Amino acid sequence: MARIFVAVDLPEEFRDEVRGIQSRFSGLKLKLVDPELVHVTMKFIGEVKDPMVSEVAEALGEVECKPFDAFIGGVGVFPNPKAPRVVWLGAEGNFEVLHDEVESCLSKFRFKKDRKKFTAHATLARIKFMPSGQREEFLELLDELSDIEIGNMVVDRISLKKSTLTPQGPIYETLHEVMLK
């Protein structure tokens, strides 16, 4: 079995910016995502049998979405600031079109659809519990970082990735890349 997902990787030159933003949260009770692993998820698929991985990779080759310019910036949270669970970096561009194309090309597999409306973002940290004494500092930081600009990038490919969960955090392996056309 393989735990897989489809993603858009952030450019290498954004890693230091991501690290810098994450360092601003250092005193708070968050589980930070390794900056090398921060990406925009197009579709989380989950556990599939190994032979299906190549079928999924082949189906992704049918994605019809032209490369597009994207802007990465602005920090926010899901589901809301009063009960934050995920701290994210915003992603603006043609991500919704790309997401819909990925969903369409993978529809024959009948993978579970996302329950929530797709919102392009890159997860920076997860929050299981935030002590009430940290909430005010956290909300101030969110406000300060709400319009931070990381930069522009060209989205010209998607990656099929395998995620192996370990006690030290996930390990991602790119199994297949599809160039947008």
Q: Determine the average pLDDT of the residues in 135-159.
A: 96
Q: Determine the average pLDDT of the residues in 59-71.
A: 97
Tell me what percent of the residues of the chain surpass a pLDDT of 90: 90
DSSP 8-state class, residue 92: E
Which pLDDT does position 76 carry in this prediction?
A: 97
Is residue 106 a contact partner of residue 166, using CB atoms and an 8 Å limit?
no
Q: pLDDT grade, residue 179 (50/70/90)?
A: very high
Q: pTM of the prediction?
A: 0.95
Mean residue pLDDT of the chain comes to 95
Is residue 170 a contact partner of residue 16, using CB atoms and an 8 Å limit?
no
**Peptide bond preceding 79 in cis form (omega within 30 of 0):** yes
Catalytic residue from among 9, 32, 33, 39: 39
Q: Give the start-to-end residue ranges of the domains of the chain.
A: 2-179
* Annotation says 121 is catalytic: yes
* Annotation says 99 is catalytic: no
Catalytic residue from among 43, 121, 161, 176: 121
pLDDT in tens, 81-134: 989 999 999 999 999 999 999 999 999 999 987 778 899 999 999 999 999 889
Question: Who contacts 78 (Cβ-Cβ below 8 Å, separation ≥6)?
Answer: 84, 85, 86, 88, 119, 121
**DSSP bridge partners of 70:** 153
Which pLDDT does position 2 carry in this prediction?
A: 96
To the question of domain 2-179 being in CATH 3.90.1140.10, the answer is yes
**DSSP bridge partners of 172:** 163
Which pLDDT does position 8 carry in this prediction?
A: 98
pLDDT in tens, 22-52: 999 998 989 999 999 999 999 999 999 999 9
